[in-house]
Chain A
């Protein structure tokens, strides 16, 4: 790859990292009431994005970032107060900055109008100077100014200075340059070196250098940090003033420098030992004096002289000084050294490691199985060794998985924008409160969290919260609160989206469900059951579907996508107080605790999380409904009994229920149900393998794994397996099955 391309990739990675933390930092800035550290962090992030964008010529991004940065700089310098309003504007500016980065990534153009509007808002924040910080300034900071290397560019017109008579003399342009250069002590203190400067100067062309050591005091008077020498250099006319000035760019102000054109015969420059501070009058020496810059600290360094008689040893003048000229650093270099105790590792390497550990787990299981099939299994040493290997394998696996664990903060951070945009689209006021951002889950889960949480959040703002007017009526503050929280709970991650809105209007939900034929009008449902109707396929309270929470996506789809990840979505609501959606997911999508079962001659894995219990169906507990469907009586209730072999299409005739084992599972959509399998082989952790990677999604199957015998076993998708049983049912059967499930 083009090395520059890879730097660009790094740039965008870094942008993403900055953008991911910017939002939180902006909020922290407000919370800490303008704490300098917090503002600095925000400033640095925006500044860094701007800097990189400049390197890649991303003009639009540079301009926008610059205006943003300018406003932040005002805050940093205390010229702009860190108010709630200002931070709100910056949060939106952050959104637009993110848009710009995205646009730059794909080579597209960001929304110029939105950017312009935001730049105007940001500019308006700046004290006094309303719209000034725009284009011109951006260019400057973008570095296209001519003095990329220099300190202060001084545009000087020679003609203006020299006076009318000589200025118009065209012959002057052909004359040699005479440069007098008298370093101040300060020049050496910045590790500049008169000799190097002279070397660079003489590189410009044929030259003649003479040293003036006349200011050198006696040895006993020499200040080791002093500067006593000066030089006069005569240069061929061919080089330009800019060339010469560039050489002295860095020492501007730290030396006395004169730059002159020699007249006619050019003899004036020679060994003139007089190149001190006082510039000779032009007519006297025949030069046109041009003083490029005079150091502000001339006074303290005079007399101008050099500490050492020989130019060759001029360099160590500063380094030989016994005392530190500069004060020690005021910041604390030792601060938090532990902060750097992390390394950055390419994700591919971690994933490779995880794959390999997955193989190790499988191989260990295969080994264990083979050993158990042989006689030596009885050898306690061998089986003890195998146990230890298993233990170790498991620990390695856990440790490796932990490498990929990431805090949900990454996802939560994006949600403020979602809430903000949704609020402004619905005319509501929302405050998003996040808790437990540090809760860690595997990267595979993190990646899949964003979408369902976005929908849940939109739903909460759009449907959960009341309008500000309605809130005023019931005595709530106009600003609604949505609480987004994460926690670990019994080996899973639980994420709540809770609003303080009006709660679910159960009457309306029930009526709507009846209208859609989802429940019969005379059904008596508990509050919970009504609430759950919201997440039923086919349910969406039509009059409420807006393009915010909607986009045509109902909560049933959210629920479905969560279930596909082995997760659950539940709901609780209290009228007038609010609604909470809870989403629970396994901590990783890379391994799964499963029950290995056989059905229809195949080996399958049922996810342990959905299993309630297993039982041996008794003949009198099994009841047939219609020709093909069966329910099982469990603790007084009837649940659908689904023959897994039939559901998978591996046999047409269901196994007589009493000959198999029923696995009672807790299904989200269909309530409790029982899966009928031929037998249970055991429980174990399995490594999840994607079917989609080389094939495609398969009904009734969640994923695949590889078992101890090296063969692929399919992992049952409990929801769709039960669903498949219901799908073919006649309405009467479905009703009865649903009723049984209920």
Chain B
């Protein structure tokens, strides 16, 4: 919840956009480490369904989240055309499974509007704002809450 929603006005940002369930979403390019093709994950026991499992990212164990499912848009049936966007969330590296990356946008903060209240609850809690550009409506995803809450000191 400590997102920098009140950043300076004149700053322009680059965003990576992608599609899921016929909707457009984006994340700040600064958070993106790399984009890679889909690989079979190793499922984790006792984990939420949107956590697809873990993959080997050059020696590191990377959790992969089905972003569509996480946002309440229904599960993804991963195929070769799907991609994993590897993002930094705090000190963690997390993979986000999405349909495919569309383009890179440069926006100023003026073109970002607060999330309209009409959006459904699940999406609402993950969307930081709406980018309107040339008639497109792109939801800017807040990454902080994508991972499940860590269980209390799993005794």
List residues of A whose CB falls within 8 A of some B CB: 355, 358-359, 362, 557, 560, 602-603, 647-650, 689-691, 693-701, 704, 706, 710-714
Contact = CB atoms under 8 A, between A and B. Distances in A.
A691 B61 contact: yes
Given A358-B59, A362-B59, A704-B61, A695 B54 contact: yes
A701 B61 contact: no
Nearest to B62: A694
Contact of A714 (B42, B59, B92, B94): B42
B119 interface: no
A325 to B, nearest CB: 63
B124 to A, nearest CB: 24
Report the 6 A-B pairs with minimum CB-CB distance, sorted nearest first.
A648-B45, A695-B63, A696-B150, A712-B42, A699-B46, A697-B154
B94 A694 contact: yes
B102 interface: no
Contacts of B75: none
A238 to B, nearest CB: 55
B92 A695 contact: yes
Given A647-B45, A699-B154, A704-B61, A694 B40 contact: no
B63 to A, nearest CB: 4
B59 A697 contact: no
Nearest to B53: A712
Contact of A694 (B43, B53, B60, B148): B60
Contacts of A694: 60-63, 92-94
Contact of B61 (A690, A700, A710): A690
Interface residues of B, number: 28
A668 B106 CA distance: 58
Interface in B38-80: 40-47, 51, 53-56, 58-63
Contacts of A362: 59
Interface of B: 40-47, 51, 53-56, 58-63, 92-94, 147-148, 150-151, 154-155
A650 B151 contact: no
A719 to B, nearest CB: 12
B46 A359 contact: no
A650 B45 contact: yes
Given A695-B147, A696-B147, A697-B154, A359 B59 contact: yes
Contact of B59 (A649, A650, A689): A689
Contacts of B42: 602-603, 704, 711-714
B147 A701 contact: no
Contacts of B41: 712
Contacts of A704: 42, 54, 61
Given A362-B59, A689-B59, A710-B56, 13 more contacts: A560-B155, A648-B45, A689-B61, A694-B61, A694-B92, A694-B93, A695-B54, A696-B147, A696-B150, A697-B154, A698-B46, A711-B40, A711-B55
A359 to B, nearest CB: 5
A358 B59 CA distance: 8
B56 A696 contact: no
23 contacts: A355-B59, A557-B155, A647-B45, A649-B46, A650-B43, A689-B61, A693-B60, A694-B61, A695-B54, A695-B61, A695-B94, A696-B150, A697-B150, A698-B45, A701-B44, A701-B45, A706-B56, A706-B59, A711-B42, A712-B42, A712-B55, A713-B42, A714-B45
A604 to B, nearest CB: 9
Contacts of A696: 147-148, 150-151
A649 B61 contact: no
A355 B155 CA distance: 29
B155 to A, nearest CB: 7
Contacts of B154: 697, 699
Contacts of B63: 694-695
Contacts of B62: 694
